[in-house]
Chains A and B, each alone.
Chain A
């Protein structure tokens, strides 16, 4: 009896203990689950913010109910009624204030401030997301506001050069610069990277030198990108500067911070990534393929050319695409080598000065005006569409190859 009583007490204690242990395990599971979601939520928030801002740029709001400063209303009661009309043709009627005044306007959370030719009256449009300000001024903001897509904005954005005026700014020179740079980078980096990978996998035995090269490449992949920028500044820009002092009249070397310097910097930046991924792809080709080819008398290069490369191609292409997409998004090294931030021309050859999409975006982000942030968001959307489609392409290739080839 006493024993049994003790047993129940102990059972109860164990049960309590067990319950708390299970509870802890459950809580732990949910904590881990929530952590995973934090990353995903941030991704969604990021995409949402960027698209919202880009939307604001691409779709201009039609102000049908602008706020006109009190003096104006008192002066002319019918002004409000005519506001839509006036707002539509404002460029003809008003001249924009200078930039300093616009900046003050931004601090007051005012979207657009235009001045009459008489230099005394103002027309002010408030940002829609400032309800307190509207209510302070006793007007109703939501009434009649509508969105209208500016097809011309869209075309303008791709066709125009950067401008001090946010409404006319575009990414033409940035896109051209990125295309030039990436094309040259790819032309140099892909053959070099794949050749290195082939040499390291197929031609060397495991020895000290090959191990040294391997460690070296692994460490190179971890070097911050800005350090590559310093390398490019000292080596490539330094070289072109030297050529410029040597041939001061030469048109070719007039700008040492040219497309070629940028492309070479990007090449050394992505080379380790290409080599590592190409080696992985080559390693995955089964040894039996090689042995069969050697057995029928193929030379080393024939084995590589006819058997290893075709079999490893999907893996190599995936790695190459991912590294190219990294090069497209890199900003810091290009700023370090001094690629221009304001370029109103399209590069004509590899020795032209250039800008690139991420640099243009940085230039817009670093300005205080909100309008330029909207522009930056639109640039980011273009960049992200390019990068995500490249990524999707890479994933598709990998997926297909995995399905087709089963070793």
Chain B
């Protein structure tokens, strides 16, 4: 083998180091872009909301109960929108949490390996369906059925949207709770059975408490998804800002308001344009807090069992 000229070798090495460094920098810049995205979201929402709150006092925004920003005189009480969002989320939670946790218990405690192998993928299919499809389903199928059962149901109503939202978050709850329950060590269950407990007793007093933090994290994550859900409530729940607890009436959620304004032509910088950022900022804060709490709980629970 011919000896390589030391100068060539050196320049090759320099080239290689240069290339390595270049690639490293390119990759680092890509990774930083994700941080830039967050910064972009926070900056956008904060600066436009700031312009908004220069024109509307925070006290009016958070404390009054009339939302009509495009009327004259405009009124900026965000509580009807918050009420709409919370009502839809609450009803969806009442439906989805018991069903989701029970499905998770079935999957982790009762189901055979074979039935798990096909039930889980089907639940994943449910999770992959675009929300516009759920919205269509709510309007075209669920609402007429509700109207047959309760004739006072209006065409746009909370219940129909909530049911669709519940179906949408069901796979999230079921799949994450299933993971949480399966990570409970089998020795705990066997201890319970050794004492002569039935499957119900073991599940209710051993497995569920042990997996509780995981279940909680899953539920919070799913609820934050329900709060941010847009297309279902836009299609099924109507567009009237409304403070009500009646699930047969229409409401407007925060997300539905943003869509309603976006569909119209609202020029940059007008008060209508600024309101969607104020509402969006509030939505972002709520979901961010829920996500952070959920991740905190999940991390704690991981430390215990891994």
Contacts and interface: CB of A to CB of B under 8 A. Distances in A.
Interface of A: 21-22, 24-25, 28-29, 31-36, 38-40, 42-43, 45-46, 49-50, 53, 191-193, 195-196, 198-200, 203, 212-213, 215-220, 222-231, 233-235, 238, 241, 268, 271-272, 275, 299-301, 322, 325-326, 328-332, 335-338, 341, 358, 361-362, 365-366, 373, 376-377, 380, 383-384, 387-388, 391, 395
B110 A33 contact: yes
23 contacts: A25-B201, A33-B106, A35-B98, A36-B102, A36-B174, A39-B99, A40-B122, A50-B136, A196-B33, A199-B27, A199-B28, A213-B35, A219-B38, A219-B292, A223-B228, A226-B280, A268-B40, A301-B24, A336-B259, A365-B132, A365-B235, A380-B132, A391-B125
Interface in B184-199: 198-199
Lowest 10 CB-CB distances: which A-B pairs, in order? A224-B228, A329-B130, A35-B102, A199-B27, A32-B106, A195-B30, A332-B230, A222-B291, A25-B198, A25-B200
A358 B199 contact: no
Interface residues of B, number: 88
B132 A329 contact: yes
Nearest to B287: A224
A230 B258 contact: yes
B34 interface: yes
A362 B132 contact: yes
B103 A35 contact: yes
A49 B135 CA distance: 12
A227 B110 contact: no
Contact of B31 (A28, A200, A238, A322): A200
B53 interface: no
Interface stretch (B63-71, B74-82, B137-145): B137-145
Contact of A32 (B37, B41, B105, B229): B105
Given A50-B133, A224-B284, A226-B283, A301 B295 contact: no
A203 B34 contact: no
B151 interface: no
Given A224-B283, A226-B230, A365-B136, A331 B277 contact: no
Contacts of B130: 328-331, 358, 383, 387
A231 B40 contact: yes
A42 B169 CA distance: 13
Interface in B82-116: 98-100, 102-103, 105-107, 109-111
B258 A226 contact: yes
B137 A49 contact: yes
B140 A373 contact: yes
B20 to A, nearest CB: 5
Given A199-B30, A331-B131, A227 B280 contact: yes
Contacts of B167: 39, 42, 46
Contacts of A38: 99, 103, 170
B286 to A, nearest CB: 9
A380 B135 CA distance: 11
Contacts of A271: 33-34, 37
Contact of B27 (A22, A195, A222): A195
A268 B37 contact: yes
Contacts of A218: 291, 295
A35 to B, nearest CB: 4
A224 B38 contact: no
A332 B105 contact: no
Given A36-B103, A268-B37, 14 more contacts: A24-B200, A28-B200, A39-B122, A43-B122, A50-B137, A195-B30, A223-B288, A224-B225, A271-B33, A300-B24, A329-B131, A332-B131, A332-B230, A337-B262
A227 B45 contact: yes
A338 to B, nearest CB: 6
A301 B200 contact: no
B78 to A, nearest CB: 16
Contacts of B59: none
A31 B231 contact: no
Contacts of A335: 259, 262-263
A289 to B, nearest CB: 19
Nearest to B98: A35
Interface string B34-49: 1101101100110010
Interface string B15-35: 010011001101110110111
B121 A395 contact: yes
A193 B37 CA distance: 13
Contacts of B37: 220, 231, 268, 271-272
Contacts of B224: 222
B44 A235 contact: yes
Contacts of A191: 30
B31 A195 contact: yes
Contacts of A43: 122, 125-126
Nearest to B19: A301
Given A226-B259, A301-B23, A384 B133 contact: yes
Given A53-B140, A384-B133, A234 B34 contact: no
A253 B268 CA distance: 16
Nearest to B236: A365
A16 to B, nearest CB: 15
Contacts of A200: 31
Q: Which among B30, B133, B231 has the highest number of chain A CB atoms within 10 Å?
A: B133
A274 B141 CA distance: 34
Contacts of B107: 36
A87 to B, nearest CB: 27
B203 interface: yes
B123 interface: yes
B34 A213 contact: yes
A195 B26 CA distance: 8
A124 B135 CA distance: 31
B176 to A, nearest CB: 13
Contacts of A275: 34
B153 interface: no
Interface string B223-257: 01101111100110000000000000000000100
A395 to B, nearest CB: 7
Contacts of B227: 224
A299 B16 contact: yes
Contacts of A387: 128-130
B198 A362 contact: no
